[in-house]
Amino acid sequence: MRNNNCLIYIVILLFGLSIQAQSKKWTLEECVKYALSNNITIKQSELDTKAAIIDTKSALGKFLPSLNASTSHSWNIGLNQDITTGLLRNQTNQYTSAGANVGIDIYKGLQNQNNLRKANLALVASKYQLLKMQEDVALNVANAFLQVLFNKENLKVQREQLAINEKQLARSIELANAGSIPRGDVLDTKANLAQNQQNVVMAENRLLISKLSLAQLLQLKEFEEFDVIDATEIKEDVSILSQSPNTIFEKSKMIRTELKIAQTNLEIAQKNLQIAKGSFQPTLQGYYGFNTRISYADVATISGNSILMQPAPKFWNQFNNNKGQNFGFQLSVPVFNGFATKNNVERSKVNVEKSKIALEQQELDLQRNVFTAFTDAQGALKANESAIIALEARQEAFNYAKEKFAVGLMNAFDFTQAQTLLVNAQSEVLRTKYDYIFKIKILEFYFGIPIIKN
């Protein structure tokens, strides 16, 4: 009996956890953080950063000496040369040889130094690129999140109007039965109700599509129960509009990632130019080599008039006796290589100029984007304020029309028109509200205020 009770308790607990998981609603902060952790494009950018780290290690490794060791073991059959004595002998034998070589760049036209600096700059650029990708994803998630909120509130408006129309139809039937309004008004009310039902279905579809879009942006595999919180946590802060566009632009020049990427690319192009010029200079390398040989063949010795065969010397004795070393320096002076070096330098100069132009263009684009975002935010705020005023007027007009329709002083067609204008005004308030919230977010983004507060 106790086991059965425990089993029932576990089933109830798991069922409760399942219901809780399904009823979870995501906040904007949770959506952004989840996207930053799971977005495929961001993961690819993170891999690019890891590759840049490897390139930095490779550039650092060029300062270190190179060490290569080799060994071989061979079988010689028939007439061949003894590698230890140099004599030709007709025999079957085995030989072992071993060697090691060390090389180091002493001077290479500062190419190694410039390659390391370039690799470090490339690593910085890849980190900036990753940050830019994260910022873009955060903005896209915020936009998709606000679109879901707009569709949720718009669906509420359509459902409220549907409920009003259902009550209005019942009232119209009563008035028609009492002879206060003609039967045609009842048919108009029914047609209006059918239109409202269609509007509700369309609003539900738009909400579902916006949820799917946000879920796909988050890379969610299971999004059937996906939902977000209501709009109560989205605050409409317009304090950023108190700043001037020039102030926002000057601030954005110091912090915007796209400018940092363009500046770093210019520095990389300048390092490439220095590396190309380094090919004009001579290079000096140092080297050291070691080798030894071991033979397993018997050694012939002459004793009087006879030849005696002695076993091969011991391995380590031969290793020490047959070893050899070589070391020295190698100087290479470039004289002529078919204009390859010169062309590389000229090509690098062109890339430097292109990077300078790209940096200037990026700064101009940033200035245009900041001023456009500021103007859009101001326009969106004014549009929202105007929509609110229009909604108040439409609400008054609808209330007046409802009173006239209730006593039979207005026909169903005119009443439907007043109601449609009210619904459109409500939708316009919602649209302008979320439009200006997003545009304020963009303006704050340029000013250095993150999409979500850490």
Structural domains present in the chain: 24-64+108-281+334-447 (1.20.1600.10)
Identify the pLDDT of residue 84.
Answer: 58
Tell me how many helices (H) and strands (E) the chain has.
Answer: 10, 6
Residues of the chain with pLDDT under 70: 1-23, 81-87, 89, 180-181, 231-238, 298-310, 452-454
**Cα distances (Å, whole numbers) of residue 226 to 85, 208, 210, 213, 300:** 84, 10, 11, 11, 90
Confidence at residue 346, expressed as pLDDT on a 0 to 100 scale: 95
CA neighbor of 383 nearest in space, from 432, 435, 438, 440:
432
pLDDT score, position 1:
45
Q: Is 213 helix (H, G, I), strand (E, B) or coil?
A: helix
Specify which residues 80 forms β-bridges with.
89
Sign of torsion over alpha carbons 246, 250, 256, 262:
positive
C-alpha distance from residue 38 to each of 129, 152, 250, 394 (Å) = 17, 26, 33, 46
From the number of C-beta atoms within 10 Å of its C-beta (0-12, 13-18, 19+), residue 196 rates as buried
Task: Write down the pLDDT at residue 82.
Answer: 63
Residues in the chain, how many? 454
pTM, to two decimals: 0.77
pLDDT at 18: 38
Q: What is the pLDDT of residue 239?
A: 77
CA distance 64 to 237: 57
**Euclidean distance between the first and final Cα of the chain, in Å?**
51
Measured between alpha carbons, how far is 318 from 296 in angstroms, rounded to an integer? 10
H/E stretch holding 307: strand 306-310
DSSP state of 239: G
pLDDT of residue 348: 94
- Cβ atoms of 297 and 89 within 8 Å: the answer is yes
Sequence-ordered list of residues with C-beta below 8 angstroms from that of 236, at least 6 positions apart, any chain? 433, 436, 437, 440
* CB atoms closer than 10 angstroms to residue 379: 14
Beta bridge partners of 99: 70, 291
Place of tokens 């590389």: 344
pLDDT computed for residue 71 by the predictor: 92
